[in-house]
């Protein structure tokens, strides 16, 4: 008897402001796509933004490179978030300071339009609706996106005042070049 797995769409935001930022984003996208039960379906271009700290924008801190990936996952939200935290740890993420500088940050923004609020996870991400560095790249890959409980992403982006600039880079992910044999096995 074959067991069916429910596959849901996920929106994952990526950010890096330490080390080789672009290379870290690329490696994170590859690692997300390599997770068992997860397939990246699209990745935005890269945007650059000033560092956001607890006290606000910090122009003296290294700027962030940010992107968004869309994926399909046959995991529950807690499993996916734990896997994302594992990728962060492998890529050198250290959690010493809330909203501190980091090699990589992977946030689960939306997962199948589910609503969750536990000690481990909040869905949708509680501050995504305010963050142009999430909303702008998300619109690149899903122009009709809606953030559950908050509305259309294009309207949310229009209401932000954050500075986001495009960062010239080759695509983070090309679905047509992925190993189709490996994908079919998932």
Residue pLDDT, tens place only, 84-141: 999 999 998 877 766 668 899 999 999 999 999 998 999 999 999 999 999 999 999 9
How much is the pLDDT for 121? 94
Q: Where are the alpha helices (DSSP H) in the chain?
A: 21-34, 77-90, 132-141, 153-158, 180-185
Closest CA to 166 of 135, 137, 139, 129: 137
Confidence of residue 15 (pLDDT cuts 50, 70, 90): very high
What angle separates helix 77-90 from helix 21-34, to the nearest 10 degrees?
140
Q: Give me the catalytic one of 93, 116, 152, 186.
A: 93
| CA 54 – CA 58 distance, rounded (Å) | 9
Residue ranges and CATH numbers for the domains of the chain are 8-162 (3.30.70.560)
How much is the pLDDT for 176? 54
User: Does the annotation count 107 as an active-site position?
Assistant: yes
Q: Give me the catalytic one of 107, 154, 162, 186.
A: 107
How is residue 39 written in tokens? 């397939």
Percent of the chain with pLDDT over 90: 74
Q: Give me the catalytic one of 21, 39, 102, 131.
A: 102
How is residue 156 written in tokens? 């949310």
User: Does the annotation count 93 as an active-site position?
Assistant: yes
Question: Containing H/E element for 64?
Answer: strand 64-73
Q: Give me the catalytic one of 39, 105, 110, 131.
A: 105
- For 138, half-sphere exposure in the C-beta direction (CA atoms, 13 angstrom radius) is 27
Q: Assess contact for 146 and 155: CB atoms under 8 A.
A: no
């Amino acid at each position: 008897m074959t067991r069916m797995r429910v596959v849901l769409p996920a929106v994952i935001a990526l950010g890096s402001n330490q080390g080789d930022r672009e290379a870290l984003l690329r490696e994170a996208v590859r690692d997300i796509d390599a997770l068992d039960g997860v397939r990246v379906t699209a990745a935005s271009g890269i945007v650059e933004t000033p560092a956001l700290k607890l006290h606000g924008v910090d122009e003296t801190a290294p700027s962030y490179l940010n992107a968004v990936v869309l994926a399909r996952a046959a995991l529950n939200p807690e499993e996916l978030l734990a896997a994302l935290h594992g990728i962060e740890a492998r890529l050198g993420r250290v959690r010493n300071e809330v909203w501190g500088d980091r090699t990589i940050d992977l946030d689960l923004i939306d997962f199948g339009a589910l609503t969750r609020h536990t000690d481990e996870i909040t869905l949708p991400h509680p501050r995504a609706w305010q963050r142009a560095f999430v909303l702008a790249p998300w619109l690149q890959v899903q122009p009709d996106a809606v953030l559950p409980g908050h509305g259309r992403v294009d309207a949310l982006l229009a209401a932000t005042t954050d500075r986001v600039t495009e960062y010239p880079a080759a695509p983070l992910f090309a679905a047509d070049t992925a190993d189709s044999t490996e994908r079919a096995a998932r």
